[in-house]
Amino acid sequence: MMDNLYMPYLMRIERITYEAPGVKTFMLKFVNEADQDKFSYKAGQFGEYSVYGVGESTFCIASSPTRKGYIECTFRQTGKVTNALSGCEEGSIIGFRGPYGNVFPLDKWKGKNLLFIAGGIALPPMRCVIWNALDMRDNFKDVTIIYGARTVKDLVYKEELKDWELRKDVKLITTVDPGGESPDWKGEIGFVPTIVEKAAPSSKDTIAIVCGPPVMIKYTFPVLAKLGFADENIYTTLENRMKCGFGKCGRCNVGNVYVCKDGPVFTLAQLKELPDEY
Amino acid sequence: MNIDKRLVRKDSLEKLFDILKRNSKTIYAPFTKNGKSTFRDTESFGAISTGYIQTTESAKDIAFPRTEKLLDFSKSKEGMSVKGTDLNDIPDVILWGVRPCDASGIGELSSIFNWDYKDEIYINRLSKVTVFGFSCSKSDEYCFCTSVGGNPGNTAGSDILFTLLGEEGDYLAEIITEKGLAVVDLAQNLFEKTDISGKEKFLAELPVKFSHEDIRLKLDKFFESKEWIEQSLRCLGCGACAYVCPTCACFDIQDEAHGKKGSRVRCWDSCGFSHFTVHTSGYNPRNVQSARWRQRIMHKFSYMPERLSVYGCTGCGRCSRACPVDMNILEHLISIQEVTV
């Protein structure tokens, strides 16, 4: 760790991918190679991304730690910092500090089926662990991804969705909300919880990872329970507001649990122990 | 743990002040203006306030300033340059006239800034501070240090604790730490050997009003209580309580830029502010004032003891004195202890 906890690494924006209206992915490389050499992270961790003069914003690291030499983040243009990030061009320098938080326990999941369920802009926090699992594909049994967005346009990582569609070792189900389909849409139409119920994935030896807007999560958990998933086998990642990322600024706690230090990855069993303040 | 006890005569304090000044120490002491007292860089002994029960603001900003520069950045044709705060710029400070509740609050702040991730800026600032605590010979109706594990002559957090020995105006000086001893070494003849023992009769009497351990146990099953709503109905969410609190450490991080140069700064914040936890989407996990008031009490009396093994309240009573709508933390804690779940 650096001496000054708040000192970000300087990162060069290597590539910008337009994902969906208002949503972009930055591929970031360390300006100083020495920083790159000592940097390591695991799937599930997050960081503070900053535009100098504007401020910092918290997102997960969206790329898999198995892909070396860069990190990626995906964000929606919403507030002051994400607007400034959105205005950056390839070659621009931004700040990044991290990684913070806990990780998805991939080692513990070896030998199991993996079921990923994501909604909208919540595929990015899951993408790191999806690619991490696919890069060590032999360690897992069936891999199923259920991903939904409001409209076809709002689906992120469109190229990767095509990849996953074509892979024989991945079962991909995509869906859009009713009315969000385009004339040539071949995926499902319906809200994520409904599609999960329809797909009825087996809960036997299966880990479910769920990430999405609160309303999606709220209605997906009961569906999983009905399918026989134990609370210990359902994972999610919380995204409370944060400033520091390491348990000092006082924002992200849910009861006595700090999302930045104890999370962001939690099982449903852990969430049920917490007060309803997330 | 006391290293030593000495006697400091009434007129020796001013001499001590002058010796410290000659040794290039910056002295922060209580300074009163328009009825409000704050700790300020003081050049003259005569300007130091005395006789106050408690200063209006706490002394925490000596290690955790209201606004702290974390780094500077500048953009040029060559690229971006970023420089961290220069820790060598931090002066040696004597914090003079701190009440025991403020001095012990430093330990509680430190437990937050040292929790796994060591906050170098805070740690360095604090390492340059020598704390001169002054025991309390008076208290008011807002004080409750004895209910939260402190007392009017508590040595915790002080490097030297001075206790006024009655009318004559002499002081008992308890040398608590090596830092305190270093001050004695600068002014040996002012710290006279003494065999005085028992400072208790010179201290304010403050009966215990509640037990913080009981509050903590009560809070385990109190999250859903309606008491939070009752207590916070008049809360304005102004954050005054957090700003005057010696242990409140919540902060925000913001950038300030002018042209191609700027700084990233950390500034005090408050869990009582309505925007404190708002997500970018507009969703707010603590969306009502009662949830924010609950967070304030739970953090100090439940979460901090559980996670950091310290309570986040020293009983200074400042939040009650500062509150514009007369919310009184002592009354509220007593009612939490008394109400049945």
| Closest alpha carbon to A205 in A267, A141, A268 | A141
**Closest to B24 measured CA to CA, from B49, B46, B41:** B41
Per-residue pLDDT of B108-144, as tens digits, reads 999 999 999 999 999 999 999 999 999 999 999 999 9
A273 within domain boundaries? no
Chain B hits for A256, Cβ within 8 Å: 302-303, 306-307
Q: Which of A7, A1, A2, A48 is nearest to A245 (CA)?
A: A48
In 3D space, the residue among B6, B12, B5, B340 whose CA is nearest the CA of residue B190 turns out to be: B12
Predicted local distance difference test score (pLDDT) of residue B85: 87
Query: For the segment B28-55, what is each residue's pLDDT rounded down to a tens digit?
Result: 999 998 888 999 999 999 999 988 999 9
Confidence class for position A2, pLDDT limits 50, 70, 90 = very low
CATH of the domain at A72: 2.40.30.10
Name the 3-class secondary structure at A84: helix
Among A100, A116, A142, identify where a domain stops: A100
Within-domain flag for A271 = no
Contact B237/A211 with Cβ under 8 angstroms? Answer: no
Rounded Cα gap, residues A166 and A45, in angstroms: 28
Write out the H or E segment, with its range, that includes residue A103. Answer: none
> Is the domain of A42 the same as that of A89?
yes
pLDDT digit string (tens) for B268-326?
A: 999 999 999 999 888 999 999 999 999 999 999 999 999 999 999 999 999 999 999 99
Closest CA–CA distance from residue A278 to any residue of chain B (Å) = 5
CB contact under 8 A, B253 and A4: no
If asked whether residues A82 and A112 sit together in one domain, one would say no
Let me know whether A79 and A125 are in one domain: no
Instruction: Find where tokens 């802009």 sit.
Output: A121
Structural domain that includes position A82: 9-100
Per-domain boundaries in chain B: 4-59+69-338
Strand order in the sheet with A93-100: A55-60, A46-51, A93-100, A9-20, A23-30, A71-76
Last residue of a domain, one of A237, A252, A268: A237
At residue A41 the predicted structure's pLDDT band, cuts being 50, 70 and 90, is very high
Q: Residue A74: phi, psi to the nearest 5?
A: -125, 130
Q: Are residues A120 and A84 in the same domain?
A: no
DSSP string, B192-227: EE------GGGSPP------HHHHHHHHTT-TT-TH
The Cα angle at residue B266 between residues A70 and B323, in degrees rounded to 5: 140
Q: Please count the helices (runs of H) and the strands (runs of E) in chain A.
A: 7, 15
| Bond from prior residue into A264 cis (ω within 30 degrees of 0) | yes
Residue B111's closest chain A neighbor by CA? A248
> Residue B112 is nearest to which of A54, A240, A248, comparing CB atoms?
A248
Task: Give the tokens for residue B217.
Answer: 């146990």
Which of A100, A117, A152 represents a domain boundary (last residue)?
A: A100
- CA neighbor of A248 nearest in space, from B59, B156, B123: B123
Question: Which DSSP state fits A184?
Answer: T
Within-domain flag for A253? no
d(CA B285, CA B291): 9
Identify the residue whose tokens are 């390839």: A90
The CA–CA distances, whole Å, from B310 to A82, B142, B244 equal 38, 22, 19
**Number of residues assigned to chain A:** 278
Residue A243 in any domain: the answer is no
User: For residue A132, is it within any domain?
Assistant: yes
Task: Note whether residue A246 is domain-resident.
Answer: no
Minimal C-alpha gap between A242 and chain B (Å)? 8
Q: Are residues A120 and A221 located together in one domain of the fold?
A: yes
The confidence score (pLDDT) of residue B196 equals 84
* A96/A114 same-domain check: no
Find the helix packing angle between B329-338 and B289-298, rounded to 10°: 80
Give me the phi and psi of B82, to 5 degrees please: -130, 130
> What does R_g of chain B's alpha carbons equal in angstroms?
21
The structure tokens listed for B16 are 């001590």
Domain CATH number, residue A187? 3.40.50.80
Q: Which of residues 6-45 of A touch B (CB under 8 A)?
A: 6-8, 10, 31
| DSSP-assigned letter for residue B240 | H
A82 and A165 together in one domain = no
CA distance A184 to chain B (A): 31
Residue pLDDT, tens place only, A83-139: 999 999 999 999 999 999 999 999 999 999 999 999 999 999 999 999 999 999 999
| Residue A53's pLDDT band (cuts 50, 70, 90) | very high
The candidate with the shortest Cα–Cα distance to B262, out of B70, B77, B72, is B72
DSSP classification of residue B146: G
In this prediction, residue A1 carries a pLDDT of 39
Q: How far, CA to CA in Å, does B269 sit from each of A226, A229, B159, B244?
A: 43, 41, 29, 12
Angle between helices B178-186 and B12-22 (to 10 degrees): 100
CA distance A62 to chain B (A): 18
What is the reported pLDDT for B1? 59
pLDDT category of residue B79 using cuts at 50, 70 and 90: confident
What's the structural domain count of chain A? 2
Residues A81 and A128 in one domain: no
Question: Is there a contact between B255 and A246 if contact means CB atoms under 8 Å apart?
Answer: no
The answer to whether A78 faces chain B, any CB pair under 8 Å, is: yes
How buried is A49 (Cβ within 10 angstroms: 0-12 exposed, 13-18 middle, 19+ buried)?
A: buried
In angstroms, rounded to a whole number, what is the distance separating the alpha carbons of residues A114 and A235? 11
Average pLDDT, chain A: 95
Same domain, A96 and A143: no
